[in-house]
Chains A and B, each alone.
Chain A
């Protein structure tokens, strides 16, 4: 069948579609077909204090192929980051998201760029979902000037203000009150937009989460708390850390929904439902049942607290990209070869971005002192050698 590729510029009207391509990559076209298809999610939703949305999700070929491409890009990006870390080009902490791509992609499909997203340190793919470029990702990971935070933030501090992506936070759980603050600002400005505050199963035990939830429910804030439950808080399994691992029920008076986080369509449906709910009734908790293939970070092999069989079992049965691939093939939206070609292109895109990022220079020494304060104060700062290195904090 004839396929035509959907250029990013033509999709502004659709808030469902956000292709991630850079300008000059694709020559071959893919379906722009938007005839609706209805697909059932893998499992029904389980709800707490609310009525679950329907299992049937409306989508279309174009969206499914976008899902495939985006997830493949994210997967490739994370694997490439793994190699770069082992090559010592990325230092410090690097928390990889492969396995969890469906959450980022499904969420984007349900919302607009006016809605805010804030997450913890496993933020590379969420950043890309919000419109960040691969160059910004790799340059920031390698500490270069072209990075999204000019190389001064690192893996855990990706931000993109113009698409309302608020980061990128290292301290577990601290981003949830920030997220409720974003929701407060949205309510204050009467924006009709919502905030998705993402956190993990480990952070679900933080007190500040419940404090923020209480305030959000009290003030009717459009805050959606999303627990990305990958079942392990670093090395501790969820049953060893939480008396009640039903994170979607933890809100008590706040409604909750449990979602299969490896199914991008289920995530999309849930986020759509949550957005409508939050705008009318205040906060809601979504629990995304997902899984990470890598360890907690690059220094964690990921196999001391779980078996390799478990990891490979999930990869075989629940992998998000494979699910979309099967859907695409079974509905005849593209051929096997076309999908493989997409994967090849994505790989090339990632490699190009890495090469470009490697050429970006390290930040200038004067950048050490810039952006400490918002306006020039003239406050002076000294380096290790108090006589020589003096700079004015700007």
Chain B
């Protein structure tokens, strides 16, 4: 009782994410919807409310805003748990891609992190994506699953066949270190790896954490790391002001104040709409991370 739907999903989707599904499962289960994000998420909520797994695709994260009202459905809470739409998963590509400009590059995760009742999940590579997506679909809460579009064509990975899930709300240390903690998610981790390698040459040992689930987020793991290193940099593509890095910085400042040896730094996108030709300057590149 699972359904996959969205704009252009039937032929395989503009990023080929749904290729072959319509042939395999039939066009009543894998289908196009009219071009309307609020309709498609609302429809998904209704399907999920009847006990189905509704996997909705928003073609670009930049277009998710018309669906925002629907996506903040307080379905379970307002009904006293009589009803819920936990079977809903909204997948959407997000993030910079090199030539996307204003409307094909945005990182809207922070808006959704402010919604009690939602989960926001972001994978860093294909094998993580499979496990996290399966976990998200099966999680009994509505999940927004942002897929870094930069990685669709570039990312190469050994992905296990067979069914496996990765835990939600658990961050992962992907590089151990002792001098400084770095936290990021999605495509930004590749940038951070580069910065860590550069820093290594100068004798700085970096601990890199992939947050994976942004809400509810794994405060304990980040706290433990910062207690070890005493320093923190958070990095994301989204504009710095009001970005999710602010939540991490505030929480760690509360919990680790006496342990911190330096102010928490955020290396993020600038506070402008996403510019096309200025993209290399806008982005939180490895240079900027290294300098921080």
Q: Do A and B come from one complex?
A: no
Question: Which residues of B are interface residues toward A (Cβ below 8 A)?
Answer: none
Question: Which residues of A are interface residues toward B (Cβ below 8 A)?
Answer: none
